[in-house]
């Protein structure tokens, strides 16, 4: 019937009478029973785990849906072939750290929706030009770069991926 704080204060009255050290009284936050935060996982980690559990076909479908959403909702943001580098960086840095450019090329070619404009079709030459668009030092993620000309596209695409994978949970 009484809370933990009340019981500890009553015990401390008795301990004070016998001149024994008092028990510390918890704050109001500690008084209520809360779930442990020790095992909570961030949304980014949850998304990464779900992505790793996907089959290659599911990953391709997810990328296709995200690209379609990007083109439909943000048509002025993704207009040129060299912007595929931003898509690659988001997937490599946020989802699959071991993703090679060659593997990304095959995934992106199969995920590109039919009827896309020629200016957005990805091919081997687009991958070769990644280094010319933006110089990325080894082991540095796109969101840690001091100068990232495609930061808006990267952040927008990451938010689209979060919504696609997590659904209403994100």
Q: Taking residues 125-143, what's their average pLDDT? A: 64
Exposure on the CB side of residue 101, measured as CA atoms within 13 A: 13
Nearest C-alpha neighbor of 72 from the set 80, 83, 64: 64
Contact status, residue 100 vs residue 167, Cβ threshold 8 Å: no
Contact status, residue 152 vs residue 66, Cβ threshold 8 Å: no
What pLDDT is recorded for position 59?
A: 93
What pLDDT is recorded for position 163?
A: 93
pLDDT in tens, 17-62: 888 888 888 766 544 555 555 567 788 889 999 999 999 999 999 9
Nearest C-alpha neighbor of 74 from the set 143, 150, 23, 168: 150
Using a pLDDT cut of 70, give the percent of the chain over it.
Answer: 81
Confidence of residue 169 (pLDDT cuts 50, 70, 90): low
Q: What CA–CA distance (Å, rounded) separates 4 from 69?
A: 51
Confidence of residue 135 (pLDDT cuts 50, 70, 90): low
What pLDDT is recorded for position 137?
A: 57
Q: How far lies 135's CA from each of 130, 141, 150, in Å?
A: 8, 12, 12
Residue ranges of the domains in the chain? Answer: 1-34, 43-169
Which pTM does this prediction carry?
0.70
50 Cβ contact partners less than 8 Å away, ≥ 6 residues apart? 165, 166
pLDDT above 60 (res 1): no
What pLDDT is recorded for position 168?
A: 58
What pLDDT is recorded for position 57?
A: 93
pLDDT above 70 (res 89): yes
């Amino acid at each position: 019937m009484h809370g933990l704080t009340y019981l500890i204060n009553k015990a401390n009255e008795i301990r004070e009478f016998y001149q024994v050290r008092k028990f510390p009284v918890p704050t109001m936050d500690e008084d209520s029973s809360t779930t442990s935060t020790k095992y909570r996982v961030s949304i980014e980690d949850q998304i990464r785990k779900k992505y790793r559990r996907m089959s290659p076909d599911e990953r391709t479908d997810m990328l296709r849906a995200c690209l379609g959403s990007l083109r439909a909702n943000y048509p002025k943001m993704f207009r040129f072939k060299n912007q595929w580098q931003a898509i690659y960086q988001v997937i490599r840095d946020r989802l699959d750290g071991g993703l090679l450019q060659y593997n990304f090329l095959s995934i992106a070619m199969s995920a590109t929706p039919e009827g896309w404009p020629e200016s957005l079709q990805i091919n081997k030459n687009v991958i070769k030009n990644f280094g010319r668009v933006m110089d990325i030092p080894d082991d540095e993620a796109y969101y840690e770069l001091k100068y990232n000309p495609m930061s808006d596209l990267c952040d927008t695409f990451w938010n689209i991926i979060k919504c696609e994978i997590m659904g209403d949970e994100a």
